[in-house]
Amino acid sequence: MSERSTAVFLERQTYRRRRLIDWLRILPLIGLGLWCIPLLWSKGEGQGVSTADAVIFVFVVWLVLVVLSAFSAWALQALESDDKDATNTGAR
Domain positions in the chain are 6-38+48-90
Say what the pLDDT of residue 87 is: 66
Q: What is the pLDDT of residue 17?
A: 85
> Helices in 1-92 by DSSP H: which ranges?
12-35, 37-40, 51-90
Considering the entire predicted model, what is its pTM? 0.69
pLDDT digits (tens, 9 = 90+) for 35-87: 998 888 877 776 777 889 889 999 999 999 999 999 999 998 988 787 666 66
**Quick one: pLDDT at residue 79?**
82
CB 79 within 8 A of CB 23: no
DSSP letter assigned to residue 12 = H
**Of 82, 87, 80, nearest in space to 18 by CA:** 80
